[in-house]
A and B are shown apart, each in its own frame.
Chain A
Amino acid sequence: MTASLSPGALFGLCGAALVGIGLYAIVTHPGLLRRIVGCNILGAGIFLVFGAVARRGGGAGFEADPVPQALVITGIVVAFSASALAVALLKRLSELNVGERNGTAAPTEQRGRL
C-alpha cells in the first residue's frame, strides 16, 4: 500500500487530517486558548496541502512548482500575526478578569506614546 502512495498524496492526506483535527478542536472546545491552538493546527494542515500541491507541480506542468511555497511563506507570516494578536487579546482578557475577581480596578490604560 505504501508503495502506491506518492509523497504528494501522503502530504495531502496528512494535511486533510490536520485540517479535520483543527476544525474539531475549534468547534468542540469551549476554552479560548485551545481554540487558538486549533486554528494553528488547521493552518498547519492547509500549509501541508499547499506543499502537496507544490510537489504535484500544479496545473502549470512543472516538475515541482515554486509558487505554492511562496504562498505558504506569506501564509505563515499572516497566521503568526493572527496567533500573536489572539494570544495578546486572551492575555489582556485574563488580566482584566483576574483584576475584577480580586476586587481591584483593572490595570489603567497607559496613555501617551505608543
Chain B
Amino acid sequence: MTPFAHATTPGGFLLVLAVILPVCAVLAIFACGPRSAARIAMTTLAAGLAIAIAIAVELIASGAALSYVVGAWRPPLGIALRADGLSGAMLVMTALVVVTVGLFARVQYGLHDGAGGGRAQTTFWLMLLALWSALNAVFVGEDLFNLYVALELLTFAAVPLVCLDGRAETVKAALRYLLFALVGSLLYLLGTGLIYGQYGTLDLLTLSRLSRQEPALSAALALMIVGLLAKAALFPLHLWLPPAHAGAPAPASAVLSALVVKAPVFLILRLVLDVAPPQAAAIAGQLLAVLGAASILFCSVMALRQARLKLMIAYSTVAQIGYLFIVFPLAAGSAELPPWGTIAWTGGALQLVSHALAKAAMFLAAGVIAEAFGHDRIADLGGFGRALPLSAAAFGLAGLSLMGIPPSGGFVAKCLLLTAAVIEGYPWLAATILAGGLLAGGYVFRVIDTALAIPAVPVAPRRPVPRRLELAALALAVAAVLLGLVPLRPFGLLQIGRDGLAMAGLP
C-alpha cells in the first residue's frame, strides 16, 4: 500500500467505543425494559462524555490524528475510522450538548410521570442514544458508504424525535422531514456509486490523493453535495426544518437544531476540501456561499416575523447554518497556506461549535418557558423575565453568540469570518455577515424586550419550574459565551491530522 495508508494508532479503539457504546445502551434498554431506560441512559451519557474527552486529550497529547482500521482489513477492502482535530472538536461538542440535554430531559420527565417509563419517555432515551452513536459515526467515518449508513441512522433516530408527542401536525412535519432526508441520502448514495465506479475505492484519505478533474467526479460530488444540502436545510431546501424543529419537545428540538443539521455540513466540508479538485472546489464554494448568504438574509427576516418563540428559534437555525457555508470561498487557501491554516477555517469551526451550544441553550430556555406558561406565543409572554430570570438570562446570553456581540463564541467566529471576507476581497459576504448580525439582534431583542416588559397584568407561571431545569439551559449559554475568550487566531487543535492530507489535486 501507499505510505499514506491508515494504520491503527494507540488510542484508536476510543473511536470504536464512541460509536458502539450508545448502541450497546440501546440494546440494554430493550433487554431491561423501559423502567430502567433513564438510568441506563444517564450512565451511558457519563461514559460517553468521558470517551469524547479522552479522544480530545489523546489528540492534543499526540498531536496526530487517531485512526482505527476495523478488523485489521485495510482500505480499499476494509473500513477505517479516523478522528482529526476538527472531528475531535465535534465529538466533544456533541457529548457536551447531549449530556446537558439528557440532564434537562431527566428533570423534565421527572415532573410529569415520575421515574417510570412512559412510551414517549422511553422512545426519547432510545432515540437520543441512537442519534449520538450515528453522529459519532459521521464524525469519525472515513468510508463514503459507511457515512451513508451513518447519515441514514441519524435520520431514523431524528424523525421519531420530531413526532414524540404524536399530534397530527408533528407527525406531518416528521414525514416531510423524512422525505427530504430520504431524497438527500439517495442522491448522496448515487454519487457514492459513481465515485466507486470511477476510482474503485470509497476511502476519503485514498480519494483525496486520487481525485482529478474529471466529469464523473464533478457529477458525483454535485449529487452528493445537493443531497447533503437537503439534509442540512440550506435555503431553498430549508422548508422542512421550521415545523419539524419547532414541533418537537424542547430537549429533542435542542439536539435536532444544535447537532443533527451539523452532520451533513461536516460531510460537505470534508467533500469540498478533501475530495474535490481545486477548480471544482472553487466553483462549488462560490455557489454554496451565495446560498449561505441568501439563507442568512431570508431566514433572519422570517425569524423576525414569527409569532411563536420556537418557530423563531428554528428559523434562526437556518440563518446561522448559512454562516457555515460562506466559509468555503473564504477558506480556499493558497499554495502556501492550506485551507485549514486560514482564519476562515477556524472561524467556521468556531461558528459550528458556538451555534450548537447557543441554539441548544435557546431551545431549552424556550422549553422551560413553555413548561411554565403552557404556550410560547411571544406577544403573550410580557414580563416573563420576572418569573423565570435564569431562563431569560440563558436566552440573552445565547443571543449574544447568535448576534456576534463580544464576549461570545459567536463574536469570535463572525469576527474571523468578517476579517477573512475583507482580506480575501468579498465585500458582499462582509456586508451579509454584518446584516445577519443586525437581523439576529432584531429577533433576539424582541424576546429580551418581552422578557423585561412591565405589563399591566403580570404573567404568572401555570406551574412552578424547578431551578435545576433552568440551570441546564444557562450552563450551555455560559459555555457559548466562554468560547469567546479563546484567542483570535487559527487554532492548533483544528489542524491536527490535516498536514498528512495533501491538498487534493496538487502534486
- Does chain A bind chain B? yes
- Interface bits B166-184 vs A (CB < 8 Å: 1, else 0): 1110011011001100110
Residues of A within 8 A of B119 (CB): 109-112, 114
Q: Judging by beta carbons under 8 Å apart, are B186 and A43 in contact?
A: yes
Residues of B within 8 A of A65 (CB): 200
With A78-B149, A78-B152 in contact, do A60 and B197 touch (Cβ < 8 Å)?
A: no
| A100→B149 CA distance, assembly (Å) | 37
| A39→B175 CA distance, assembly (Å) | 13
| A57→B192 CA distance, assembly (Å) | 16
| A37→B175 CA distance, assembly (Å) | 14
| A82→B174 CA distance, assembly (Å) | 13
Residues of A within 8 A of B175 (CB): 32, 86, 89-90, 93
Q: Judging by beta carbons under 8 Å apart, are A109 and B166 in contact?
A: yes
Residue of A nearest to B201 (CB): A59
Q: Judging by beta carbons under 8 Å apart, are B156 and A81 in contact?
A: yes
| A67→B192 CA distance, assembly (Å) | 13
Residues of B within 8 A of A56 (CB): 197
Residues of B within 8 A of A26 (CB): 179, 183
Across the A-B interface, how many residue pairs have beta carbons closer than 8 Å?
110
Residue of A nearest to B191 (CB): A46
- Interface bits A90-114 vs B (CB < 8 Å: 1, else 0): 1011001100100000100111111
Instruction: Report if B13 contacts A (CB, 8 A).
Output: no
With A39-B186, A106-B168 in contact, do A85 and B178 touch (Cβ < 8 Å)?
A: yes
Residue from A39, A75, A89 within 8 A of B174 (CB atoms)? A89
Nearest Cβ on chain B to A13's Cβ, whole angstroms: 14
Q: Judging by beta carbons under 8 Å apart, are A49 and B186 in contact?
A: no
Instruction: Report if A6 contacts B (CB, 8 A).
Output: no
Q: Which of A52, A109, A110 has the largest count of B CB atoms less than 10 A from its CB?
A: A109
B residues contacting A by CB (< 8 A) are: 30, 33-34, 76-77, 118-120, 122-123, 145, 148-149, 152, 155-156, 159, 163, 166-168, 171-172, 174-175, 178-179, 182-183, 186, 189-190, 192-194, 196-201
Given contacts A93-B168, A114-B30, 10 further A-B contacts (CB under 8 A): A42-B186, A49-B190, A53-B197, A60-B76, A67-B77, A68-B196, A74-B145, A89-B175, A113-B34, A114-B123
